[in-house]
Amino acid sequence: MIGGFGLVLGLGLAVSANVVAEPGAYCARVGTEDTARPLPPALAGRAADTFGLRSAPPEYVARATVWRCEGGRVLACFAGANLPCGKLDGRQALPAVTAWCAGHPGAVVPASVSGHASLWRWGCRGAQAVREGPAWQLDGRGFAVETWKALAH
């Protein structure tokens, strides 16, 4: 069933194959769980409201949205244009960025090199890789605050 999850999986997010039909009841029962799960198609309208995507086809919204539980609430993430829905990579050094800077002194490091899930914005000071500050705010679980929202009711 690649069609249902292909976009999200294609962005590098490991999504649980365990389908939960009623995320609200599930989250109320388990409290907090970091497993990103595919959005049930019946909730595409709620996700569209949450992310301001009312003009997008519901099938697209459902395929590109995952959910998880935090404090008994359902949080959703719309993968959209390279937005990280998985836990962020907070490593202080990335081999790919180090190699990029060696070959591109003084350059800005593109996300295609650092990875879209890096916590940091990266640059090259000469041929040296440098962290230029956080690209995202972290929540208490290691996810980007900017990409996860409570699912609209």
- Regarding whether 111 and 77 lie in a shared domain, the answer is no
153 residues of the chain, pLDDT tens digit each: 333 334 444 444 555 556 688 999 999 999 999 999 999 999 999 999 999 999 999 999 999 999 999 999 999 999 977 789 999 999 999 999 999 999 999 999 999 999 989 999 999 999 999 999 999 999 999 999 999 999 988
Note whether 10 and 78 are same-domain residues.
yes
Alpha-helix runs per DSSP H in the chain: 2-10, 23-30, 44-51, 58-64, 95-103, 111-114
CA–CA dist 100, 66 (Å, integer): 32
Q: What is the pLDDT of residue 1?
A: 31
How high is the pLDDT of residue 153? 81
One domain, residues 75 and 40: yes
pLDDT of residue 15: 54
Pair (119, 64) in one structural domain: no
User: Could you tell me if 42 and 116 lie in one domain?
Assistant: no
Question: Does residue 47 sit in the same domain as residue 108?
Answer: no
The Cα 125–Cα 101 span in angstroms is: 8
Domain boundaries, position 42: 2-86+142-150
User: 52 and 7 in one domain?
Assistant: yes
Kindly state whether residues 82 and 106 are assigned to the same domain: no
The pair of structure tokens assigned to 75 is 């949080």
Q: What's the maximum distance between 2 C-alpha atoms anywhere in the chain? A: 53
14/75 same-domain check? yes
Note whether 58 and 30 are same-domain residues: yes
CA distances from 120 to 6, 68, 71, 88, 94 (A): 27, 24, 27, 9, 10
Q: Count the domains in the chain.
A: 2
Q: Residues 103, 80: one domain?
A: no
Shared domain for 35 and 82, answered yes or no, is yes
